[in-house]
Structure formats: structure tokens, C-alpha cells
Amino acid sequence: MRRSEQREHIFKLLFMTQFNSEDEMSDQVSMYFETLGELEEKDQEAMQAKYQKILEKLDEIDQILNDYSRGWKTSRMSRVDLTALRLAVYEMKFDEDVPVGVAINEAVELAKMFGGDDSGSFVNGILGKIASGKKDSGEAPKRHRPTHQAKIIIRSSKKDAPKSETKAEPEENSDN
């Protein structure tokens, strides 16, 4: 079985944990693997081991997600997006066998396959921030207008200025 297929099954198992208690999940995992039919034992063991490792790191993974996602804490994220993010963050931070780019690409594909219209770009954006290490501070970015864009209007006299730019000013008396 290819790694992307294993990753999809792990994604589904992680997704199920959001709907079942810890006690129920052992039975759910067993039933899930039974539905897969002929499955090599090494593949099932690899998937179960990775699934368990992710569960062990879940609090730490969610903390990373909350640190990097501005305005979208894990409690507000769609369950599909959250599951794809959790799997990818685990692979990026704790699984040395998976390159960061592969983890991101696979998570985006899972989000597109199982999520909404914007899921792929949402997942990609958060994982990109995590990969680059740039956290949002929570403040709006300060925007400075570069000096080359400064607007300067020079008026030499009223008669040279276009009518739309002239202001009603008291006329000076030239007799003084």
C-alpha cells in the first residue's frame, strides 16, 4: 500500500475520533480495518502506530495550530480541515520520514477531497505559516506608505491651476 493511501486511512481514523469516545475508538478502529478487506499486516500495523502517535501528541499539535492560525482556533475549524491539519503538523514536526513539502501537499489534497471549497487554501495557508515559522502576532499589520508614493501638489498661482483644484480664497488686493 502506498504512503498516500495509508495517510488517507489515518486521516479517516483521526476524523472518527472527533465523534467517538476513547473507549469506543478501539472497537471503531478494529471495525474500520475489517472493512478494508485484504490488508497486509505490516500496513495495518504502520497505520495504527502512526495513528496512536498522533493521538499522543494531539494537545501539542493543537497548541501549534492555535499559535499559528489567527482568528481560527481549533475549536472553530471544520472537522475535516482540523483533521488534515493535525495529520500534517504531526508529519512536519514529529515524523522525520516525511518531508515538510510532502506533508503539506498531502494535507491540501485531503482537505480538497473531503472538505469544502476553501478547505485546500485554508489548510495550505496555515501549514505554510508553520513551515516558515512566522506566527501572526494578532495585531493588524502596520502599513506605511512608501515615500515614493507620496502625493505632492504644487500650485504656483491661481491662474495656472485647473479650476477643479482652486479653492475659494479671498483675493489679495494688489493696491497695498
Give the cell for residue 22: 476513547
Dist CA 117 CA 70 (whole Å): 20
- Residue ranges of domains in the chain, CATH in brackets: 3-132 (1.10.940.10)
User: What's residue 43's pLDDT?
Assistant: 92
Taking the C-alpha atoms of residue 92 and residue 97, their distance in angstroms, rounded to an integer, is 9
Residue in the block written with cell 483644484: 165
Q: What pTM, to 2 d.p., does this model score?
A: 0.74
pLDDT, tens only, 39-78: 888 999 999 999 999 999 999 999 999 999 888 888 889 9
Q: Which of 78, 86, 101, 9 is nearest to 46 (CA)?
A: 9
pLDDT at 163 exceeding the cut of 50: yes
Q: What is the pLDDT of residues 4-51, one digit of tens each?
A: 999 999 999 999 999 998 889 989 999 998 888 888 889 999 999 999
**Interatomic CA distance for residues 23 and 173, integer angstroms:** 94
Give dist(CA 1, CA 43) in Å, integer: 7
Structure confidence at residue 152 (pLDDT): 53
Beta-carbon contacts of residue 94 (< 8 Å; ≥ 6 apart): 53, 57
Q: How confident is the model at residue 144 (pLDDT cuts 50, 70, 90)?
A: very low
- Cα(66)–Cα(136) distance, integer angstroms: 10
Q: State how far the Cα of 19 lies from the Cα of 35, in Å rounded to an integer.
A: 19
CA distances from 47 to 3, 13, 129 (A): 10, 9, 27
Do 47 and 88 touch, CB atoms closer than 8 A? no
Burial of 88 by CB count in 10 Å (0-12 exposed, 13-18 middle, 19+ buried)?
buried
Confidence of residue 173 (pLDDT cuts 50, 70, 90): low
Task: Quick: pLDDT tens for 99-136.
Answer: 999 999 999 999 999 999 999 999 999 999 999 887 65
